[in-house]
């Protein structure tokens, strides 16, 4: 299997783009070797510029719940292209999209579309601070909510992958307004609220963490977040950029029966095009400009192409609910084949194989994983035609396009790898 073309393009890319990539985690830094340059995708497959094909378990980091180039999404894009690409003015489809999101996620009484998950979480924080008049935000170590200045504190995903202490460029005054606590720890949270509860604007959490690798909430943890924020007049923000429409049609809040004040979305709701969204209680969202004074804006927010792809995705999922049972069954079968000596965390079709034989319940336990062995595993799978996220601290994704044969093929490769 040659990757000469990828390597050649990568060496040029590094002269023009920082690290040769437009997002750090794509650079394969923690698994070694050069990133593959992808020529095209189809269903569960991606094809690199050297003509190699792979079963894809990254799925663009979550958006491609239906796999690459699903006909419903491609058709919606083709049809929309006939009418234009962007108007900077409202369109009917944006109202249909708002309706589709709100009907799927009842806690989202009103919603604003933006262009990325980062914009969604950044805006949700501002709204929470504006609504409560408070400054402090609570987040959890290993959770990643996009590259928002005040949330790049003990963050997961690429920050954890690259072992960055946090990021230069974030003023101390910003990070001073962020309390980063251990995920799944109630003691630390209760202490923070005892000491500073009346200053805490919101708690933001990935209800199922994907960004330290997949880490589910401990039983009762999310309910405890809901109770303690309500008791102190703070808001609960569920960052469902990854879990929204992924772990259930109604997201993790449907799965765990939690009603947050605000939710952030992205990835799946764009069907592979750039999008984000934040929404929640109408009394909060009506404080957002121009209805209220809290400002947030975006030239391409509600872009017709992104909305067309996203709406096609949501309508398809709504009319094919059996997809979630299929995702559950095939993901479970795949994870049952994980190499011996590893710990697998999975919720629905998002999972991580941790190279540790200990439970992984938070960042402290996740970072004990043997990242060198993970790198061996990643390389071995790549050579076998299996494309996994190039980081121990990321979630992998099964899509509706992954066939039973794909799962069997991948399972055989997993089983053939010795984790000892
Ligand atoms: P974006 O700004 O990358 O669209 O979304 C930020 C974000 C917010 N919240 C959660 C829970 C997220 O997972 C993300 C982004 N996820 C990463 C993958 N772990 C994106 C991949 C990347 O950074 O290239």
What is the per-residue pLDDT for 24? 96
- Tell me if 252 sits within 8 A of 207, measured CB to CB: yes
List ligand 1's pocket residues with C-beta within 6 A: 23, 25, 61, 116-118, 121, 144-146, 157-158, 206, 210-211, 239, 241-242, 266, 276, 394
- Please tell me whether residues 359 and 211 are part of one structural domain: no
Domain around 199: 71-319
146 Cα nearest atom in ligand 1: 6
Supply the residue whose CA is at minimum distance from atom 24 of ligand 1. Answer: 23
- Please tell me whether residues 335 and 193 are part of one structural domain: no
- Tell me if 276 sits within 8 A of 115, measured CB to CB: yes
Last residue of a domain, one of 261, 289, 319: 319
394 Cα nearest atom in ligand 1: 19
- Tell me if 93 sits within 8 A of 310, measured CB to CB: no
Domains: count for the chain: 2
What is the per-residue pLDDT for 164? 67
Question: How many residues are listed for the chain in this entry?
Answer: 420
What is the per-residue pLDDT for 172? 84
Q: Please list the active-site residues.
A: 144, 239, 267
206 Cα nearest atom in ligand 1: 11
Question: Hey, which of 144, 156, 253 would you mutate to test ligand 1's pocket, going by the most ligand atoms within 8 Å of its Cβ?
Answer: 144
- Please tell me whether residues 364 and 266 are part of one structural domain: no
What is the per-residue pLDDT for 335? 98
- Please tell me whether residues 40 and 85 are part of one structural domain: no
CATH of the domain at 288: 3.40.640.10
DSSP E strands, 194-323: 200-205, 235-239, 262-266, 276-280
- Please tell me whether residues 87 and 55 are part of one structural domain: no
CATH of the domain at 62: 3.90.1150.10
- Please tell me whether residues 221 and 251 are part of one structural domain: yes
- How close is the Cα of 11 to the center of ligand 1, in Å? 26
- Please tell me whether residues 274 and 341 are part of one structural domain: no
What is the per-residue pLDDT for 157? 84
- Please tell me whether residues 306 and 172 are part of one structural domain: yes
Question: Could you read off the pLDDT tens digit of each residue along the chain, which spans 420 residues?
Answer: 899 999 999 999 999 999 999 999 999 999 999 999 999 999 999 999 999 999 999 999 999 999 999 999 999 999 999 999 999 999 999 999 999 999 999 999 999 999 999 999 999 999 999 999 999 999 999 999 999 998 988 888 888 777 666 788 888 888 889 999 999 999 999 999 999 999 999 999 999 999 999 999 999 999 999 999 999 999 999 999 999 999 999 999 999 999 999 999 999 999 999 999 999 999 999 999 999 999 999 999 999 999 999 999 999 999 999 999 999 999 999 999 999 999 999 999 999 999 999 999 999 999 999 999 999 999 999 999 999 999 999 999 999 999 999 999 999 999 999 865
pTM above 0.95, yes or no: yes
- Please tell me whether residues 30 and 176 are part of one structural domain: no
Last residue of a domain, one of 319, 340, 373: 319
Q: Provide the angle, in degrees to the nearest 10, between the axes of the packed helices 71-81 and 304-319.
A: 150
Last residue of a domain, one of 319, 354, 379: 319
- Please tell me whether residues 260 and 185 are part of one structural domain: yes
- Please tell me whether residues 277 and 379 are part of one structural domain: no
């Amino acid at each position: 299997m040659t990757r000469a073309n990828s390597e050649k393009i990568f060496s040029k890319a590094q002269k023009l783009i920082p690290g040769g990539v437009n997002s750090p985690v794509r650079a394969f830094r923690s698994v070694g070797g050069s990133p593959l340059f992808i020529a095209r995708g189809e269903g569960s497959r991606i094809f690199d510029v050297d003509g190699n094909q792979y079963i894809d378990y990254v799925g663009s980091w979550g958006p491609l719940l239906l796999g690459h180039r699903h006909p419903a999404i491609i058709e919606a894009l083709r049809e929309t292209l006939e009418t234009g690409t962007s108007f900077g003015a409202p369109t009917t489809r944006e109202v249909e999209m708002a309706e589709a999101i709100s009907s799927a996620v009842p806690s989202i009484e009103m919603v604003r579309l933006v262009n990325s998950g980062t914009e969604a979480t950044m805006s949700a924080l501002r709204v929470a601070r504006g609504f409560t008049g408070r400054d402090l935000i609570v987040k959890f170590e290993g959770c990643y909510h996009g590259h928002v200045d005040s949330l790049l504190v003990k963050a997961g995903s690429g920050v954890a992958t690259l072992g960055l202490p946090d990021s230069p460029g974030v003023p101390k005054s910003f990070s001073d307004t962020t309390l980063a606590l251990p995920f799944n720890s109630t003691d630390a949270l209760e202490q923070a609220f005892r000491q500073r509860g009346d200053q805490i604007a919101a708690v933001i959490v990935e209800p199922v963490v994907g960004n330290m690798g997949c880490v589910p909430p401990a039983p009762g943890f999310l309910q405890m977040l809901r109770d303690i924020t309500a008791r102190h007049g703070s808001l609960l923000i569920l960052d469902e950029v990854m879990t929204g429409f992924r772990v259930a049609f109604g997201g993790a809040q449907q799965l765990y029966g939690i009603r947050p004040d605000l939710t952030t979305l992205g990835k799946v709701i764009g069907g592979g095009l750039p999008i984000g969204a934040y929404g929640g209680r109408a009394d909060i969202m009506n404080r957002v400009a121009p209805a209220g004074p809290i400002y947030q804006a975006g030239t391409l927010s509600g872009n017709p192409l992104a909305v067309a792809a996203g709406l096609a995705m949501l309508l398809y999922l709504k009319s094919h609910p059996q997809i979630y049972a299929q995702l559950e069954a095939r993901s479970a079968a795949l994870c049952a084949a994980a190499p011996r000596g590893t710990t697998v965390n999975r919720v629905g079709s998002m999972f991580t194989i941790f190279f540790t034989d200990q439970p992984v319940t938070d960042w402290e336990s996740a970072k004990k994983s043997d990242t060198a062995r993970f790198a061996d595993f990643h390389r071995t799978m790549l050579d076998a035609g299996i494309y996994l996220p190039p980081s121990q601290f990321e979630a992998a994704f099964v899509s509706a396009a992954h066939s039973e044969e794909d799962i069997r093929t991948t399972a055989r490769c997993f089983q053939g790898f010795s984790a000892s």
